[in-house]
């Protein structure tokens, strides 16, 4: 059984100039794999950068949603990279455990548990339920609600890509929690 990447990782030095520039800024295996289709990489990066860096959600809230997507999809790669970022944002071990435990956790405040519920509902029912929506709408602007949905969708796309391409985790990232942590 082959555990390595299912597609070659593009060497930035051998890539066309416009792709090389992207890979210099984003040297991760994910981007090097997607670079096998340069047009997809270029167009996806515009959307991905907006969702990651320019969306209307508070940074912590965005990362809680991304970590929950990573947990639900068993994407160790996504968890690792975003876990490392979350550590820089001040996430504690209890914060990570709360994300793993889900909406019923006692480790996170109410609004963060509502974010976890929204992610779980999107990933199980393909929509956000009425009660969860009401709680979200009481806290977030319409622009933030749209961005929450797009953050979850974007990182579901990323997780499916990572898992399907069997990309190993990057070095030096947050370890994926053991399933017994749930």
DSSP secondary structure string, 74-139? T-HHHHHHHHHHHHHTT--HHHHHHHHH-TT-SSS-HHHHHHHHHHHHHHHHSS--HHHHHHHHHH
Residues 130 and 166 in one domain: yes
* The token pair that represents 137 in the structure block: 């709408």
Q: What's the pLDDT at 179?
A: 57
Residues 110 and 128 in one domain: yes
Domain tally, the chain = 2
CATH code, domain with 107: 1.20.1290.10
Contacts by 137-143 with C-beta closer than 8 Å and gap 24+? Answer: 139/111, 139/114, 140/57, 141/56, 143/56
Residues 46 and 74 in one domain: no
| Short-list 135, 141, 115, 128, CA closest to 56 | 141
Task: Determine, yes or no, domain membership for 79.
Answer: yes
Q: CA–CA separation, 146 vs 138, rounded Å?
A: 14
Predicted model pTM: 0.94
Q: What is the pLDDT along the chain (182 residues), one digit of tens a residue?
A: 457 799 999 999 999 999 999 999 999 999 999 999 999 999 999 999 999 999 999 999 999 999 999 999 999 999 999 999 999 999 999 999 999 999 999 999 999 999 999 999 999 999 999 999 999 999 999 999 999 999 999 999 999 999 999 998 888 887 888 755 44
Residues 73 and 152 in one domain: yes
Range of the domain at 162: 57-181
Residue that has been written with the tokens 């009425």 in this structure? 130
Residues 37 and 63 in one domain: no
Residues 36 and 81 in one domain: no
Residues 43 and 72 in one domain: no
Residues 40 and 70 in one domain: no
């Amino acid at each position: 059984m082959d555990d390595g990447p299912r597609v070659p990782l593009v060497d930035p030095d051998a890539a066309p100039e416009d792709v090389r520039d992207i890979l210099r800024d984003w040297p991760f295996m994910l981007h090097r794999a997607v670079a096998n289709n340069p047009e997809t990489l270029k167009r996806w990066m515009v959307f991905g950068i907006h969702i990651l860096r320019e969306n209307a959600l508070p940074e912590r809230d965005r990362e809680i949603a991304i970590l929950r997507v990573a947990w639900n999809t068993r994407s160790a790669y996504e968890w690792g990279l975003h876990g490392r970022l979350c550590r820089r944002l001040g996430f504690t071990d209890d914060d990570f455990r709360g994300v793993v435990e889900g909406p019923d956790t006692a480790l996170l405040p109410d609004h963060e548990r509502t974010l976890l519920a929204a992610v779980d509902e999107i990933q199980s029912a393909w929509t956000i339920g009425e009660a969860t929506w009401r709680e979200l709408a009481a806290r977030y602007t319409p622009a933030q609600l749209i961005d929450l949905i797009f953050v979850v969708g974007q990182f579901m796309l990323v997780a499916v890509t990572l898992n399907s391409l069997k990309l190993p985790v990057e070095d030096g990232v947050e370890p994926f929690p053991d399933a017994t942590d749930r």
